[in-house]
Amino acid sequence: MASSAAAKSPVTIRLCGPRGFCAGVDRAIQIVVLALKEFGAPVYVRHEIVHNRYVVEGLEAKGAIFVEELDEIPLEHRKQPVVFSAHGVPKSVPADADARNLFYLDATCPLVSKVHKQAMRHHRLGRHVVLIGHAGHPEVIGTMGQLPEGAVSLVETVEDADVYMPPDPDNLGFVTQTTLSVDDTAGVIKRLHERFPNLTAPAADSICYATTNRQEAVKQAAPGCDLFLIVGAPNSSNSKRLVEVALRAGAKKSVLVQRASEIDWEAIGDISTVGLSAGASAPEVIVNEIIEAFRERYDAAVELADTVEENENFLVNREIRHVELTAADMAFVNGE
């Protein structure tokens, strides 16, 4: 064992902070866990509660059932709670739940709800709303679904901004998806402002603090990294943006992985410095799993690359606030 350990190549792992769960994701998972404790299984969840398969499977093991639409909930379970995901839903979804006499708990991130309010304010003041975001993303569908059809136009790229033709160029307001790259979004907003000088910004920045903080930490850690690993799901917008940020900031290579088992150890090659961060819906238990996988193969030293400390905490729904949440309840994502 001693000779094997001596043969391991040294590697420094730059572990970014903040990383992983943001307050909105943490709250959404807690809502499902607390609903299961209070009401018993099953608790239904419309769409993935957050974009992470490990989290979804962990909640399924506790008794959550994930459905795409509310009509999938069987009649005999109509008294059981249904939870709406952290990404937010169109107004038609709670209206449908009310029509079906379903008891629902809305786990929409408060920062996504803030974007909904910003869009509604633009609309109320007579502005056409420009939403900067990715087509088909649940958050974009939810935001567009807050307003009447035709009241929101989606712009994804600078190229889209170049050709966008609004109904009234002098009466526009914009909002953005919360999980975008700060740098990419700035380019789109700049182009829209150049074309439409009267474009009105939202009252506060739409991109959430957690997205910005994780991107800044990756930017600072990336220079000199031979490899930068981002823990996250392929359908997680904020995780994919972190891969792009790492590459732009100087990492030689950046890869998105869901588990340690996805790392292609043969393709890694000769490395001395590895960056490691996690998207806002990726659990800390997988970050630890990846660090252990490196320690098995390398003489790995962990170097903390912290930028700011996050202490935000969003309260869960009033109906379940009295239920005790223990460390054991969340160990499946946070570790022991």
Any binding-site annotation on 157? no
SS3 content of the chain, % helix, strand, coil (to 5): 40, 20, 40
Any binding-site annotation on 281? yes
d(C-alpha 44, C-alpha 272), whole Å: 46
Q: Of 139, 159, 292, 296, which is the active-site residue? A: 139
**What's at 202, amino acid-wise?**
P
Any binding-site annotation on 225? no
Q: Give the side-chain half-sphere CA count within 13 A for 262.
A: 13
Any binding-site annotation on 193? no
Which residues face 153 on adjacent strands? 130
Q: Say which residues have a Cβ less than 8 Å from residue 101's Cβ, sequence separation at least 6.
A: 78
Any binding-site annotation on 178? yes
Any binding-site annotation on 237? yes
Any binding-site annotation on 22? yes
Any binding-site annotation on 236? yes
Residue with tokens 């064992």: 1
Q: Tell me the residue ranges of DSSP E strands in the chain.
A: 10-17, 43-46, 64-67, 82-84, 104-106, 128-132, 152-155, 172-176, 227-231, 254-257, 273-278, 299-306
How far apart, in Å, do the first and last CA atoms of the chain sit?
28
Which residue from 319, 318, 316 is spatially nearest to 330, judged by alpha carbons?
A: 316
Q: What are the angstrom distances between the C-alpha of 251 and each of 109, 172, 210, 220?
A: 31, 38, 21, 10
In the residue annotation, 312 being an active-site residue is answered as: no
Any binding-site annotation on 134? no
Q: Give the side-chain half-sphere CA count within 13 A for 1.
A: 1
Mark out the alpha helices in 130-264 (DSSP H runs). Answer: 138-144, 158-163, 182-195, 209-221, 237-248
Helix (H, G, I), strand (E, B) or coil at 301: strand
Catalytic residue list: 139
Binding site for isopentenyl diphosphate: what residues are annotated?
A: 51, 87, 137, 236-238, 281
Binding site for dimethylallyl diphosphate: what residues are annotated?
A: 51, 87, 137, 236-238, 281
Binding site: what residues are annotated?
A: 22, 51, 87, 109, 137, 178, 208, 236-238, 281
Binding site for [4Fe-4S] cluster: what residues are annotated?
A: 22, 109, 208
